[in-house]
Chains A and B, each alone.
Chain A
Amino acid sequence: MQIKEAPKEYDAIIVGSGAGGGMSAYMLANAGMKIAVVEAGSFFDPKDPATMTQMKWSYESPRRGASTNRAFGDFDMSWGDWKVEGEPYTNKKGTDFRWWRARMLGGRTNHWGRISLRFGPKDFKHRDVDGLGENWPISYEEIKPYYDRLDKMIGVFGSNEGLANDPDGFFLPPPKPRLHELYYIKGARKSNVPVIPSRLSILTKRINKDRGICFYCGQCNRSCSAYADFSSGSCFIFPAQKSGQVDLYTDCMVKNVTTNDEGLATGVSYINKKDMGEYQLKSRVVVLGASACSSARILLNSTSKQHPNGLGNSSDHVGRYLHDSTGSGLTGFVPALMDRKVYNEDGVGGMHVYSPWWGDNSKLDFPRGYHIEVWGGLGMPAYGFGFDVESINKYIGASVGGYGDKLRDDVKRFYGSIVGLSGRGESIARYENRCELDEDVLDRFGIPVLQFNYKWSEYERLQAKHMVDSFEEIITNMGGKVMGEKPGKDKEYGLLNPGQIIHEVGTTRMGNDPLKSVTNKYQQLHDAKNVFIVDAGPFTSQADKNCTWTIMALSMRASEYIIDQFKKKNI
């Protein structure tokens, strides 16, 4: 097969247009660099009426929003989920990692939860605290200026609380709590669990003339047509295009980074999905932002005489230390929330309050913490609404079962009385937990796929136990009853599979020692100075926070380093 080469050379090629790649494209283009953004998914704009799902009614979908084709329901704005047609992955026997991929411009930022939390000082140096994992080669103080700029650039609501490990920022004002959230505040405080306004990248107030303000439809996971929530397309890619410096290649799946005799990158090779032909682009710098596992895969598939083990992989660390957040949860029925007056409480597309980690791990039987997310309320009914509603009667000693007007009454009495608590916590990064190439299996582009090998340890299981114990206590404090069975030891306390929380990080971790890390603290490969990674691969460790705000702060920092080095002709 003939590989077609484009004649011109870019200053930089950015692979992937999600949180990390989008930020880098924005920074580099605005600094005057000529760039190509190569994205495996199709073009997507949140306000394109042809693909938009925001403000659709459940009955506009024949399946009423069921998850037949989209894991989080028909209206969720993700093209692709844990399964992507023609793009398999495998698991080592006895393990079960789930890999989410969104194949669209903007990647997962089109439907993500917008929970935008900074990591705290402790999170960058956690080995100093408990002797586990590895410290980051950078500190909070070094990242803080980038978080500050990010807050203002994108917009995030929240509140300055002066907490030691949940830093303050430049917040927009948060929305007022909903009714079930007021109950949660009371219930949590009774157990000395702090509750503060949540921190979501949604515009409750104008930050510029280009983006709209939230009109409280509660549907951020459908992507906001007013650009009032953060997605990489609306906030990075489209504004970057205005500079005239960006060539956008959508539906182009990067296979590998090409290198020269000195082992430096010369560009990328990709498959164009429209004609299934292989093409090459040339550039002085290659920036990988394809997501932690995808970028690791590209590196591992980029073998050459100079990089026989894959690009950047002389240390055999590419793909290692893969770690996701932990997750478990409980659902509660709160009798005080029965027979509610019905009013519009859609609010923003996410919780209005949350609990940052409050515990002292030196007194607990597991390391690292988690935060609590709260859900509930008078939402729009979709597929699944009303399932087993009559069975709730058992919690109030009323008759279960039935049909007709009694059933109708049940639906109305119990509407809005269910509250869910979810824990999202920090796991320990481990050398053994990894993704590597499965040479036996190819995707539809003929590219070897990833094989995962990831197991939780007792640390994560005990943390999940603490979650469900705390949630049971809080639900009880709210006057509620835990619905279903509280998961015990046999069910690993409800601990979800790795990959299910979709915060995978660590596959190309940063460090000062090239034998123990893949990139330096500027996210530059130790083995090839003109290759950078701007997704969550370089994370040395997770935190009890979601990872994306940190991906973007780090990508901004790495991008400024790229601009500086490019201008100095060091790369």
Chain B
Amino acid sequence: MDRRESIKNILLGSALAGIAIGSQSCEPDLEETPINLEKPKGYGRTPFEREHDEKIANSPDFFSADELSAIAALCDIILPANDEVGGAIEAKVPDFIAFIVKDLPMHQLPIQGGLMWLNGESQKRFEKAFVALDTAQQLSIIDDIAYPDPKKESTTLEPGRVFFTRIRNLTLTGFYTSKIGIADLGYQGNRANMWDGVPQDVLDKHGLSYEAEWLAKCVNQEKREEIARWDDKGNLLNN
């Protein structure tokens, strides 16, 4: 079988296997597996997990509307949209943060306290809440907490730094696990394919190459469909 045929086969094989119905009747012969093109809903939860998800979905937000808008303002500062790609707001990162604090309550207090700190600092400097500041004013505070303390002596800003690190982390995770973020990153996987080694241009760039001896052991994708046969000593006869 030629290589293209074989790729088509694995694509088909996986799709068939993935959406097969009648699981109890373990009919493992791929050719005979009935095709159900309807994608199952959900993401494979157990009853206990479904209950957990429902409980969270039906519970009120942990944060107040004011807190949520401050979180959104921070998300937008951390990953704003630019000419090429949408930002944290478009990727609905504030919604993710609103969810995750209910799912992982360990985030609640540090974020709530951090927002209080941020508003306190805003009041101190500009006599307004953080969301009411203009962009330059907001950034003047953010610039003080978005980097490690250069002199390692100011302790008054330290709580702000710790807080900002947490919000930055959650914003990054929320964004890069979203559809927009994954596309922006360029992740190419999570699809049926046939791994056949590092692309040659990448090897070249790194000044690396596969050793002939090592390659000789590796799978020959042209013959992957042939049922494996060995001699008595364990030498594979049809790779």
A342-356 vs B, Cβ < 8 Å mask (1 yes, 0 no): 111111100000000
> Can you name the residue of chain B whose Cβ is closest to the Cβ of A210?
B28
Verify B234–A170 contact, CB threshold 8 A: yes
Verify B217–A344 contact, CB threshold 8 A: no
Please tell me if B235 contacts chain A, counting CB pairs below 8 Å: yes
Verify B17–A401 contact, CB threshold 8 A: no
Please tell me if B239 contacts chain A, counting CB pairs below 8 Å: yes
Q: How many A-B residue pairs have CB under 8 A?
A: 293
Q: Closest CB-CB distance, B165 to chain A, in whole Å?
A: 7
Verify B189–A212 contact, CB threshold 8 A: no
Contacts of A179 in B (CB 8 A): 198, 202, 206, 208
B43-87 vs A, Cβ < 8 Å mask (1 yes, 0 no): 111101100110010000000000000000000011110100000
Residues 382 to 419 of chain A near chain B (Cβ within 8 Å): 382-390, 399-405, 407-408, 411-412, 415
Which of B168, B192, B224 is A205 in contact with, Cβ under 8 Å?
B224
Query: Which one of B97-105, B124-132, B151-159 is at the interface?
Result: B97-105
> Can you name the residue of chain A whose Cβ is closest to the Cβ of B197?
A176
> Can you name the residue of chain A whose Cβ is closest to the Cβ of B186?
A342
Contacts of B169 in A (CB 8 A): 386-388
> Can you name the residue of chain B whose Cβ is closest to the Cβ of A405?
B82
Verify A386–B172 contact, CB threshold 8 A: yes
| Given A49-B19, A55-B190, A212-B30, A381-B181 contact (CB < 8 Å) | yes
Please tell me if A69 contacts chain B, counting CB pairs below 8 Å: yes
Q: How far is the CA of A400 from the CA of B168 in the complex (A)?
A: 13
Contacts of B56 in A (CB 8 A): 62
Verify B230–A225 contact, CB threshold 8 A: no
Q: Closest CB-CB distance, A570 to chain B, in whole Å?
A: 33
> Can you name the residue of chain B whose Cβ is closest to the Cβ of A216?
B195
Q: How far is the CA of A99 from the CA of B149 in the complex (A)?
A: 43
Residues 63 to 105 of chain A near chain B (Cβ within 8 Å): 63-66, 68-69, 74-75, 79, 85
- Give how many B residues have a beta carbon under 8 Å from the other chain's beta carbons: 94
Contacts of A55 in B (CB 8 A): 14, 18, 190-191
Residues 509 to 543 of chain A near chain B (Cβ within 8 Å): none
> Can you name the residue of chain A whose Cβ is closest to the Cβ of B91?
A59
Contacts of B165 in A (CB 8 A): 388
Q: Closest CB-CB distance, A414 to chain B, in whole Å?
A: 11
Contacts of B2 in A (CB 8 A): none
> Can you name the residue of chain B whose Cβ is closest to the Cβ of A227?
B28
Query: Which one of A152-160, A285-293, A364-372 is at the interface?
Result: A152-160
Please tell me if A310 contacts chain B, counting CB pairs below 8 Å: no
Please tell me if B223 contacts chain A, counting CB pairs below 8 Å: yes
Query: Which one of A40-48, A295-303, A316-324, A456-464 is at the interface?
Result: A40-48
Contacts of B35 in A (CB 8 A): none
Contacts of B4 in A (CB 8 A): none
> Can you name the residue of chain B whose Cβ is closest to the Cβ of A160?
B234
Please tell me if A325 contacts chain B, counting CB pairs below 8 Å: no
Contacts of B52 in A (CB 8 A): 68-69
Verify B185–A59 contact, CB threshold 8 A: no
Verify B28–A173 contact, CB threshold 8 A: no
Q: Closest CB-CB distance, B8 to chain A, in whole Å?
A: 12
Contacts of A69 in B (CB 8 A): 48-49, 52
Q: Identify the 4 closest CB pairs spanning chains A and B, nearest first.
A: A386-B172, A401-B147, A238-B26, A48-B23
- Could you jot down 21 A-B contacts, CB within 8 Å? A50-B44, A57-B182, A59-B178, A62-B53, A62-B96, A62-B99, A152-B230, A173-B218, A173-B220, A209-B29, A209-B227, A210-B29, A226-B14, A238-B28, A343-B199, A346-B195, A381-B185, A382-B177, A400-B147, A403-B168, A407-B172
Given A45-B26, A55-B190, A172-B228, 12 more pairs with CB closer than 8 A: A49-B20, A60-B43, A157-B219, A182-B208, A205-B228, A213-B225, A215-B11, A225-B14, A226-B18, A381-B173, A382-B177, A402-B147
